[in-house]
Amino acid sequence: MEVDVYVHSTVKGPKQKNGVIAFVLEAELPDGRKATKPYFFQIERVSKQRSWLKAVAVALERVKEGNEAVICGKSAYLAVGFKSLARWKDNDWKRSNGKQVKNADLWEQIFDLQKSRKARFLSDGDHIYSSWLPWEAEKRAKSKKR
């Protein structure tokens, strides 16, 4: 079964901040109906990149093994990373210049999860939840600050 995974993070910039990671899991049932489940999690003291990776890792944990996860989100960081996963793994989580891949612990977790879920990153463009998911996540992040 194919499961669409729409991810978002409210964390912005390289500095560690608090925020919300959010994702929606959506799958078509055998009878043609769609099953949709949104998730929101408060996170603390993480960079923008780590927050996106954490959102993907937590989402993949919720996709049953054997299913295919198609991940969508507005993150060029994820798009580039997914293309490099196998190469980084083969190179012991080092880049071609010999430097350690940043956030290698989360990339490795995603690599391990995606093996049994056939995960792939579809695009970093708009998707069906492009407006609602950020709006809802920002609303929840602001309510936490009070």
Report the distance separating Cα 79 and Cα 85, nearest Å: 10
**Average pLDDT along the chain:** 92
Report percent pLDDT > 70 for the chain. Answer: 96
Domains along the sequence of the chain with CATH: 2-145 (3.30.420.10)
Residue 125 has pLDDT above 80, yes or no: no
Contacts of 136 (CB under 8 A, 6+ apart): 22, 38, 40
Closest C-alpha to 85, from 65, 55, 58, 106: 106
CA distance 49 to 44: 13
Neighbours of 65 (CB within 10 A): 9
- Per-residue pLDDT, 146: 43
- Model confidence at 1: pLDDT above 50: yes
Confidence of residue 89 (pLDDT cuts 50, 70, 90): very high
CA distance 106 to 71: 16
When pLDDT is averaged across residues 121-127 and rounded to a whole number, the result is: 76
SS3 45: strand
Q: Residue 143 has what pLDDT? A: 84
**What was the pLDDT predicted at 145?**
57
Q: Is residue 136 scored above 70 in pLDDT?
A: yes
From the centroid of its chain, how far is CA 69?
Answer: 11
Render 77-111 in DSSP notation, one character per residue: HHHHHHHHHHHHHHTTSB-TTSPBPTTHHHHHHHH
